[in-house]
Each structure stands twice: as C-alpha cells, then as structure tokens.
Structure 1
C-alpha cells in the first residue's frame, strides 16, 4: 500500500473530484486516507458558486466527462488534474487554454498520481501559464 505523509500546510484547501462515480469513490477514499479534505459535487449548478468561494486547492476530473466544467475552471487559477484514456488533438487544444493543469493517462499509476497530488497541494509544483502531461 502506498503511504504518503501530508504536511499541515497542504490541508488548507480541499480537493474537488468531478468524475464518474466508481473512480470518484476510489479516489475520494485514497485521498481522504492520506489526510486530504476531499469533496464531490453532485449538482452541476453548484459548481460555479463553489469555485467562486476559492475553497479548492486542486480539481481532479477526466476528459471528456468533466469537459462541461473546463470553461469555469479556466476562469479561475485552480490547479487541475485531467485524466484521460488517450491524448488527441482536441485534448491538447483544451489543455493549451489552461493556466495550471496536468494531464495523466489512464490507467493511472497511483504512486505517480499521489506524488503529483502531494506536489500540487504542497505548492511544490506550479506550471503557471501552461500544462504538463504526466
């Protein structure tokens, strides 16, 4: 089992997961076990209001599932991990419009995933003005 320690400064903001229910449950449990505050939003009309409150330090979603949310995220400076089954020109075009995003290809390597989450939430990794494919 992968175990990462979480520093108190990393817990200031919550991680928002917006994805299919199966992945959301697994990801929620892993992140909560690691000590992160984690939330999901069931009602899409609540998302814009919640994003305005600046309470999230990271958003985890997938493409194309979370595509409806991308415009709202791009308006704010919230680091975002976008998960995808593959990379195509549409996804690259979307990523180019983000200021601070990371793309991981499924199936996930959970060690890399947790390392990325820890770095983003700890402020150790910030690619302002672009994206990274991990």
Structure 2
C-alpha cells in the first residue's frame, strides 16, 4: 500500500492576508480559490509537489460546529494554539532572512539547532497558525 499526503487543512480568517503569506512570502502556487456564501477556500502548494496541497479554509464553515465551538476556535487561533504545519527548505537561513524582513510576519523563533537533531525556525501565519520550517 502506497499512501501519500494529498491535502492538509489550515484555518484562515483573512483570505487576502493568507494569500500574501503562503503565495507571496513562501512562494506557494495557488491551485484553487473558491468562494461560497461570503467565505473563501484557497488551495496552495509548492510548485514542485503538485500532488500535495494546503487548503486554507474558513474555520467555522462546518455546519456541525456550535457557537461555543466557534468561540473556542477563534480564541485558540488568536493564541496560535489551534493549528500548525511543519515545512522544510534547503536554505533555512536564507528563507528566515527573507521572511524576517517582512514586517507583517511574526517571528516566533530564529533558526535554532534543536536537541532532537533538526535545525528549524518558527513563524505565525496571519491567522495565528504556527509554521515551523526546518533545514531539509
């Protein structure tokens, strides 16, 4: 059996800010941008990995979510504890410098050699999601 990762989902509460981060800052290509009832789902991914995508979705679009759950999701997103993604790059320091130079991007951690064997850094995307990037 050969499984691959097709899509992962990250919440976004500002589609234009999400595009500025994932498309413009990280360089992902936009694969789909769908609006429905005032909400937008944006699919992005690395150009060299056409079968792997990140779907940036409105966090409260699921009709099964209660108002209390929407409140909790909003609070967790604001604190940066709701969702996260780990990425990898061949040039961690170069990418860090590029992202750090953008005053709209929140740096959480500078490139660091971790005791568990990787070198990584961390940012928050515009919705508060933790984005960790490690040296490939």
TM-score (norm 2): 0.29
Larger radius of gyration between Structure 1 and Structure 2: 2
More strand by share: 2
**Structure with greater helix share of residues:** 1
Question: Normalising to structure 1: TM-score of the pair?
Answer: 0.29
